[in-house]
Amino acid sequence: LNKDVFLKGIEIYRALLPAVANVETDYQVIRVHPENDQQLEYLTNLEHHGNYDFWTDVRRDFVDIMVSPEQAHVFKSQMFLKGMKAETFIPDVQKLMDLQKASPVAEGRAMDWTSYHRLGDAKIHSWLDDLAAANPDTVSTQVVGQSTLGKDLKVIRINTAGSPHKFWIDGGIHAREWISPATVTYIINELVNNYEANQELVDAYDWYILPVHNPDGYEYTFTDDRLWRKTLTDHDSFWGCLGADPNRNWDFHWMDIGASQDKCSEIFAGPEPFSEPCCSAIRDFTTELNADSSVLGYFTYHSYSQLWMSPWGWTDALPPTYDELTRVGVAGMNALTAVHGTDYEFGTSTNVIYAASGASDDWAYGVLGVPFVYTIELRDQGRYGFVLPADQIIPSGEETFAGLKVAALEMLVLP
Ligand code: ARG
Ligand code: ZN
């Protein structure tokens, strides 16, 4: 057997291997079903050490984890060994990403909700400025800080009736959750361009809305890595891992639970609280806004899982105003579901998912003192996960806006 023949044989073997040995060729999302505390703990450890990409938080119902073709078999056998059922839930992540890229994009600065949009010159930020220019008496934009890489944190303010009550909304704190900024821009459009139909709601508040909380990460999901979650701050990782989880970086029970000090983990909390410029800028801005305790609502949109969650996320104890949070949250959630029948679940973050501290919601409720704080996990329930097709933006916008509207008006009703 000469060397060339031998190498040729290996080449052929490699080419045929996927078909013959059933080797995976695409990234896939595997859904596992932990049933006891040991299994939960095992998954939590995996999540803290950054080798696998967790698409959902660790919780009892199910956990979605993306694995590379190389990891798939080892991963499945690990789950088997621990006695956990593991099913391939999304077999073809790359294919879905390609599909999503192919959705049509409106020309120039015009905004639409039939595709996902970049930040820059031609889209989200310029559209916010155009709205302000078209409505100079009621709408304005302001840059409230910069990300690590110097991108603007651009907030749009909508103030039609001089209401004393303020309302904060943000999206896009996690980069890959594209449906979040898309839904938040849909909400902005309803408030500004559909004023007649929503006048009672629009007039009821002085609105401050940040569609993209983590602009570095968001742009990176278009240019380099569609599934990036964190910021892009360089924290000098030995392995060259970048970024921190901006929703583990807030100074309230920072690093208590559900967060990692491993710089490669998707839930790396940062070297210290507020190490991430996008978090400290929003802390400063909302603190100033609430100096007179006028902020009534703080809604932060994520994806995915279809959950409407109140604090706390750091403990399973119920927050002091849980009844009020439930009354308003459930009213909003039911209004959301009524639009397209999309199922949601309500509860505290800890009780519907699993404890994770250092998130913005607990800070907004526990430190800032805003009465109505919710983290809302938008569509879907994992069929597409983060790679949600663009034709779901409009239905997501419609239902999410309906939920926001009812919740925001309910907040003004005394119990
Ligand atoms: N999926 C969100 C995250 O991981 C949930 C945050 C819920 N809030 C909380 N305090 N744990 O950031
Ligand atoms: Zn998120």
DSSP states along 202-235: HHH-EEEEES-S-HHHHHHHHHT-TT--S-----
Q: Which of 145, 142, 173, 176 is nearest to 158 (CA)?
A: 142
229-252 pLDDT, tens digit per residue, is: 999 999 999 999 999 999 999 999
Residue nearest (by alpha carbon) to ligand 1 atom 1: 57
Token readout for 352 is: 């519907």
65-81 pLDDT, tens digit per residue, is: 999 999 999 999 999 99
Residue nearest (by alpha carbon) to ligand 1 atom 4: 57
Q: Which of 220, 223, 224 is nearest to 232 (CA)?
A: 220
Residue nearest (by alpha carbon) to ligand 1 atom 7: 349
Per-residue pLDDT, 17: 65
Per-residue pLDDT, 4: 85
Q: Which residues are catalytic?
A: 377
Per-residue pLDDT, 19: 59
Q: How many angstroms is it from 215 CA to the middle of ligand 2?
A: 14
Ligand closest to CA 217: 2
Give the C-alpha separation, 320 to 404, whole Å: 22
**Residue 153, CA distances (Å) to 167, 170, 282, 285 in order:** 17, 11, 9, 11
Ligand closest to CA 267: 1
Ligand closest to CA 310: 1
The amino acid sitting at 411 is M
Could you say which DSSP state residue 268 is in? B
Token readout for 243 is: 């970024």
253 lines ligand 1 (CB under 6 A): no
Ligand closest to CA 353: 1
Give the C-alpha separation, 134 to 136, whole Å: 6
Q: For residue 43, give every residue at least 6 positions away whose Cβ sits within 8 Å of its Cβ, in sequence order, or none.
A: 32, 34, 58, 63
Intervals of the chain under pLDDT 50: none
Atom of ligand 1 nearest to the CA of 377: 1
Q: What is the ipTM of this complex?
A: 0.98
303 lines ligand 1 (CB under 6 A): no
Contact 411, 328 (CB under 8 A): yes
3-state secondary structure of 55: coil
Atom of ligand 1 nearest to the CA of 305: 1
Q: How many angstroms is it from 203 CA to the middle of ligand 2?
A: 30
Q: Which of 55, 57, 300 to mutate to test the pocket of ligand 1 (most atoms within 8 A of CB)?
A: 57
Atom of ligand 1 nearest to the CA of 267: 4
Q: For residue 329, give every residue at least 6 positions away whose Cβ sits within 8 Å of its Cβ, in sequence order, or none.
A: 308, 310, 346, 374, 407
Atom of ligand 1 nearest to the CA of 358: 10
Identify residues whose C-beta is under 5 A from ligand 2, the ion: 174, 302
Per-residue pLDDT, 18: 60
3-state secondary structure of 305: coil
Q: Which of 250, 399, 294 is nearest to 338 (CA)?
A: 399
Q: How many angstroms is it from 67 CA to the middle of ligand 2?
A: 19
213 lines ligand 1 (CB under 6 A): no
Give the C-alpha separation, 95 to 91, whole Å: 9
The amino acid sitting at 139 is V
Strand ranges for 279-323 from DSSP E: 295-303, 307-310
375 lines ligand 1 (CB under 6 A): yes
Per-residue pLDDT, 21: 55
Q: For residue 154, give every residue at least 6 positions away whose Cβ sits within 8 Å of its Cβ, in sequence order, or none.
A: 125, 128, 141, 142, 143, 144, 210, 211, 212
Q: Which of 369, 360, 352, 340 is nearest to 308 (CA)?
A: 352
To the nearest 10°, report the CA torsion of 350, 355, 357, 363.
Answer: 0
247 lines ligand 1 (CB under 6 A): yes
